Amino acid sequence: MTDISNDTPARHGALLVTDARTKRRNRAETRFKAYGITALAIGMAFLAALLWAILSNGLTAFGQTYVQLDVPLLEEKLDKDGDRDPEKIAKVSTFGYKPLIEAALTDLVAREGIETDLDGKALTKILSESAAAKIRDRVLANPELIGRTVGFDLLASSRVDGYLKGRVSRESLARDKNLDAAHLDLVDTLSDVGVVEKRFNWAFITGADASDSRPEQAGIGVAMLGSFFMMMVVLALSLPIGVAASIYLEEFAPQNRLTDIIEVNISNLAAVPSIVFGILGLAVFIQFMHLPQSAPLVGGLVLTLMTLPTIIISTRAALKAVPPSIRDAALGVGASKMQAVTHHVLPLAMPGILTGTILGLAQALGETAPLLLIGMVGYIATNYPDGVAEGFLSPNSAMPAQIYEWAKRADPAFYERAWGGIIVLLVFLLAMNLIAVLLRRRFERRW
Amino acid sequence: MNDMRPMDNVVTDKTKITARDVHVHYGTTHAIKGVDVDIADRTVTAFIGPSGCGKSTFLRCLNRMNDTIPGAVVTGKIRIDEADIYDPCVDPVQLRAKVGMVFQKPNPFPKSIYDNVAYGPKIHGLARNKAELDDIVEKALRRGAIWDEVKDRLHAPGTGLSGGQQQRLCIARAVATEPEILLMDEPCSALDPIATAQVEELIDELRRNFSVVIVTHSMQQAARVSQRTAFFHLGHLVEYGETGKIFTNPEDSRTESYISGRIG
């Protein structure tokens, strides 16, 4: 017989003393935690830096300097015959309005008693080149104004705007032929008396792109509409196609080599660079099918191709997450496969499907590369033409493409607008993600 | 109704289901190897046997739930009231209205108790209006022996009930479509002893209106609830007969080993 002692022999060290092996393990754990925290901190720092950069550079785009000017709309300049014939008034080009603006500015300077060496022509440099066109549009719309002195809110030039935002200084103007230090003195005085003031820039949110020489007039509104039309196309096509394809693959398709190949290819498509979809869209939709260039319809079709894999993958994941027992239960009481899917599986998968769709849309909204290839960088300097249905086929731009366009241009005022455009884009993306979260909360059910 | 009680342990001779030479293959696996069985009407028939012996597979053949499993091939003849259920003319959806099923894990829909029970009658068009549907739901819940517990909260979610209540709700859901046969795949394996006793009592009640086929791991359960027992082993139907005889005087040595606990 083996001898049996009364006590279990001590096989390990005393509990109150940590042995070397345990110490080593604990140290490794502490180290790993430190790595994790460092990684997280770096990520947060980058995020903070990014947000700071975007906000500090872009927020100024949402303010714009305006000059309040009383312009005498002299009858002898605008309508010599005095019969208010719209055709004759339209013959007066914007050049015909420039003397009026000069006169108004000279008058303003004299009225406020400001000492300045600048003559009338030099004075107009504080105004945007769009000023004359704006006055002309107003006169054409309402010829009765001719002969009166009318108050206008006119855009200040981008240099003046930049001065009030701190981007332009007297030193930087030394190399700039567009504006002199004398103008800045004038602007200082005028802003003291409230003639020159900075306001919230609705025109940036609603307006259209502008030419290189008048960045103060450029807005992202038209590009926003272009993006909106594209998203409509993407949603209308990719949601039904994506969900139908996923339901078929997940619930009905037999498991064979063909469906395996399809599955692998869908996953691969999700990883294809977006510019490849762009060139595919160019070849198929524009060169082969002769759809118009720069049209939101084509942009939407290309982005649909790009979004479909994302939607299919997330929808299939959502369908897979529905417990098979629910399908069994439905089939067990005599539901057909289609009834089991539409009555039970689909409602349960809905939060996942919607989240995937919205994230896919958000991805499509920010996509730039394919749009460049199909020409969705149209320079649309006029506000959107009437007729929303037309919007799918008429040339347009999109928000990210517009941002890219502005970032390319030389004038720092456009650079500021590019950052501002990024803020608008990010607000949209945040809103979409928020909707995704809310929908998920709203539809989520437990079983 | 109570005068029906003396039919305990009485086995009707009318055959409801006839299976002849049934084989099931899952891909390369031969799961059921030639099963012949006659299941009587208004009787509780228990399928017992060790795990993986094919008893659940065979049960799922009876309402063609195996159709939903990719790669499953069923051969042989299964007749319900002389109609071959694997005939190409038979729509499995219609069959499953006639042959209800209760699963191992309670699986109520994540909907209200009322909607859980009303779903089957709705899709089969058994109710012409709301009042009829209400009657059907109440009757089914009463048959499921759960009416008294849920009558005040019919619109509460079915998933909020306890496990035993959920399983009785699932039984109520299965009987709501007025099936003729009720298949139960280990209906008590996820339940505690008290809930199990309630469900077993219910199964005995159900025998008056349905022929019940129950798969169970528990030999005691088979002995308690069934009139006939079939013992499956490695895909073969080893022995089939009166429950009392199987448990006291089995003919096959494998059955004896299993019920005495030596294999399985």
How close B261 comes to chain A (CA, Å)? 32
Judged by CB atoms closer than 8 Å, whether chains meet at A333 and B96 is answered as yes
A306 lies in the same domain as A414: yes
Best CA proximity match to A267, nearest among A229, A316, A301, A200: A316
At B44-53, the pLDDT tens digits run 999 998 888 8
At B228-249, the pLDDT tens digits run 999 999 899 999 999 999 999 8
Mean pLDDT on B214-220? 89
The pLDDT value given to residue A92: 82
- Of the two residues A171 and A346, the one the predictor is more confident about is A346
Check whether A216 has a pLDDT greater than 70: yes
Check whether A379 has a pLDDT greater than 80: no
A195 lies in the same domain as A129: yes
User: In percent, how much of chain A has pLDDT > 70?
Assistant: 96
A55 is a domain residue: no
Mean pLDDT on A199-212? 86
Mean pLDDT on A395-406? 89
Judged by CB atoms closer than 8 Å, whether chains meet at A334 and B124 is answered as yes
Chain B residue numbers touching A330 (CB-CB < 8 A): 109, 119
Mean pLDDT on A300-316? 94
- Which residue of chain B is at minimal alpha-carbon distance from A444? B110
At B87-139, the pLDDT tens digits run 888 888 889 988 999 998 999 999 999 999 999 999 998 888 999 999 999 99
A294 is a domain residue: yes
Number of folded domains in chain A? 2
Chain B residue numbers touching A336 (CB-CB < 8 A): 93
CATH number at residue A312: 1.10.3720.10
Angle between helix A296-320 and A221-247 (nearest 10) = 40
Which residues are within 8 A (CB) of A130 and not within 5 positions of it... i.e. 6 or more apart?
Answer: A154, A155, A210, A214, A216, A217
pLDDT confidence tier of residue B2, bands split at 50, 70 and 90: very low
Q: Does B118 touch chain A (CB under 8 A)?
A: no
A245 lies in the same domain as A332: yes
The pLDDT value given to residue A26: 94
What is the CATH superfamily name and number for domain B15-259?
Answer: P-loop containing nucleotide triphosphate hydrolases (3.40.50.300)
- Average pLDDT of chain A is 87
Boundary residue ending a domain (A153, A168, A199): A199
How much is the ipTM here?
Answer: 0.86
Of A254, A331, A344, the CB nearest to B109: A344
Q: Which of A4-13, B83-92, B251-260 comes out lowest in average pLDDT?
A: A4-13
Q: Does B125 touch chain A (CB under 8 A)?
A: no
Q: Best mutation site among B96, B166, B169 for testing chain A: the one with the most A CBs within 10 Å?
A: B96
Residue A63: its H or E element: strand A63-72
Structural domain span for residue A84: 66-199
A51 is a domain residue: no
A158 lies in the same domain as A291: no
Strand A196-200 with A63-72, pairing: antiparallel
A186 lies in the same domain as A225: no
The pLDDT value given to residue B3: 40
Mean pLDDT on A346-372? 90
Which residues are within 8 A (CB) of A142 and not within 5 positions of it... i.e. 6 or more apart?
Answer: none
At A124-169, the pLDDT tens digits run 888 888 888 888 888 888 888 888 888 888 888 888 888 888 888 8
What are the extents of the domains in chain B? 15-259
Which residues are within 8 A (CB) of B44 and not within 5 positions of it... i.e. 6 or more apart?
Answer: B203, B204, B207, B212, B213, B214, B225, B226, B227, B228
A312 lies in the same domain as A269: yes
CA distance A275 to A290: 20
Q: Does B26 touch chain A (CB under 8 A)?
A: no
The pLDDT value given to residue A382: 67
Mean pLDDT on A366-387? 76
Mean pLDDT on A67-86? 82
A190 lies in the same domain as A307: no
Residue B76, phi then psi, degrees to nearest 5: 105, -175
Q: Are B169 and B161 spatial neighbours (Cβ–Cβ below 8 Å)?
A: yes
Half-sphere exposure of A418 (CA within 13 A, CB side): 15
How close A206 comes to chain B (CA, Å)? 46
CA distance B85 to A269: 44
Chain B residue numbers touching A334 (CB-CB < 8 A): 93-94, 96-97, 120, 123-124, 177
Of A335, A337, A446, the CB nearest to B159: A446
Judged by CB atoms closer than 8 Å, whether chains meet at A335 and B119 is answered as yes
Residues in A lying within 8 Å of B, measured between beta carbons: 254-255, 323, 325-337, 339, 343-344, 348, 445-447
Judged by CB atoms closer than 8 Å, whether chains meet at A334 and B120 is answered as yes
A111 lies in the same domain as A256: no
Question: Helices in A248-365 by DSSP H: which ranges?
Answer: 257-270, 274-281, 296-320, 324-332, 337-339, 346-365
Check whether B4 has a pLDDT greater than 60: no
Q: Which of A12-21, A220-229, A402-411 comes out lowest in average pLDDT?
A: A12-21
Judged by CB atoms closer than 8 Å, whether chains meet at B123 and A325 is answered as no
The pLDDT value given to residue A235: 93
Q: Best mutation site among A259, A331, A333 for testing chain B: the one with the most B CBs within 10 Å?
A: A333
Judged by CB atoms closer than 8 Å, whether chains meet at A330 and B109 is answered as yes
The pLDDT value given to residue B11: 52
A110 lies in the same domain as A165: yes
CA distance B102 to B169: 10
A27 is a domain residue: no
Structure tokens given for A58: 């872009």
A169 lies in the same domain as A233: no
A188 lies in the same domain as A319: no
The pLDDT value given to residue A293: 82
Q: Are A330 and A339 spatial neighbours (Cβ–Cβ below 8 Å)?
A: yes
The top-scoring range by mean pLDDT among A33-47, A98-112, A420-434 is A33-47
Check whether A437 has a pLDDT greater than 70: yes
Of A332, A335, A348, the CB nearest to B103: A332
